[in-house]
Amino acid sequence: MAPSMGRRRFLTQAGAALAAVETLDHLGPCCALAADAKTEEKDLFELKPVGDGVYAAIAAPRFKVNCNAAVIATNDGVIVVDSHSKPSAAAALYKEIQSITRMPIRKIINTHFHWDHTQGNQAYAEAFPGLEIISSERTRANLASADAGVGGIGYIEKQRASVPKEIAQLKEEIVRAKSPEQKARLEANLRQAQAYYEELQRLKPAMPTRTVSSSVTLNEGGREIHLLLLGRAHTDGDVFIYLPKEKVMATGDALIDWMPFLNDGYPEEWVQTLDALDRFDFVRAVPGHGDVMPKEQLAFFRGYLSDLIAAVKRAASEGAALEEMKKTLADRLAPKYESRMSKHPLGQYRERIGTNIEMVYRKVVKKA
């Protein structure tokens, strides 16, 4: 059967997307590289097998981040967990998926509402009529909100206003470049920002068509797939995707391979949610960012959050000011966490520790 017009456009976009580089203004400390950061030239995603017919789509480092995805092949079609930062990124991943199966995409699962996990929904929805997009109830509400955080309809409008400012800043930095190499990197990132801005004007977010308010089990084309709602963590609507037979867990940004972003999170509840996650029998995790992880890394990530919270509470009880905490606690926690939390170009320890300390101070200490 010939592909639909939507699917043909999707495939055309995929070819173009492989020649482009991801970009997206973040308006904050979550997911932005330095203006002169070196951009990877490889394809946007690398498919890594993590089980029989199950893959981690690991996003290449780009000027602005894409999330990873989990790709689950079933007898009836493909399920993709998270859809990246824009439609052309989803198109690029779909081209990679075609190297392992020609089955259509049947379902998208959004683990949470952040821009780099949801703004590609549109591409799949347009290409595959009848596509089901699944999320938690809270994630759908956040996506529809004008001011939920770093995602949703309101955040798209903020980006439309901010990306031209980012483009202007890149142009200024090109003029001030101190070497031909730095200038070339800045020019590459400028092209990315300009290309993203053009795509941003056409962005029409596709909302979830099905929501869940508690954990459910899907039986999809010979696979048992659990959607787990274990509590608030990175956001108030995190969903974990568990394949018990394959012992694989897709974790979104509630468990990642670099420093967490706490701005939309719930630090103390996050630790409790990870305790609940730890009770499931899985061997490999497909995180929202970074590389495929063994389950053992959960304890390290949870330990960072626990130690961070305890350190901020203790410092506050001793009368330390926030700015003092940012310096002293960053250095105090560094021997245990800096090296393993700085493996990737983005989300490194020194880049985020100050903001994490501030978020715990505001969300835990000041709230109490």
> What CATH number is given to the structural domain containing 117?
3.60.15.10
Amino acid present at 208: P
Band of residue 2 on the pLDDT scale cut at 50, 70, 90: very low
- Which amino acid is located at 331 in the chain? D
- Please identify, among 212, 245, 260, the residue that sits at the C-terminal boundary of a domain: 212
Q: What is residue 192's predicted lDDT score, i.e. its pLDDT? A: 83
* Whether pLDDT at 133 is above 70: yes
Tell me, what's the pLDDT at 178? 95
Residue 330 lies in a domain: yes
Q: Which residue has the tokens 């089990």?
A: 217
Looking at 194, 212, 230, the residue that finishes a domain is 212
Q: Return d(Cα 322, Cα 326) in angstroms, integer.
A: 6
Show the domain range for 15.
Answer: 5-149+205-212
Q: Per the domain annotation, does 283 fall within a domain? A: no
The stretch 165-175 carries a mean pLDDT of 96
Q: Please check whether residue 115 is in contact with residue 83, taking contact to mean a CB–CB distance below 8 angstroms.
A: no
Residue ending a domain, among 212, 241, 262, is 212
**Whole-model pTM over 0.85:** yes
Confidence of residue 259 (pLDDT cuts 50, 70, 90): very high
pLDDT at res. 367:
86
If residue 149 lies in a helix (H) or strand (E), which one and from where to where?
Answer: none
Asked whether residue 187 is assigned to any structural domain, the reply reads no
For residues 93 and 54, is the Cβ–Cβ distance under 8 A? no
Residue 157 in any domain: the answer is no
In this structure, is residue 195 part of a structural domain?
Answer: no
Q: How far is CA 147 from CA 6, 32, 74, 143, 244, in A?
A: 31, 20, 37, 9, 36
Domain count, the chain: 2
Q: Is 76 exposed, middle or buried (0-12, 13-18, 19+ CB in 10 A)?
A: middle
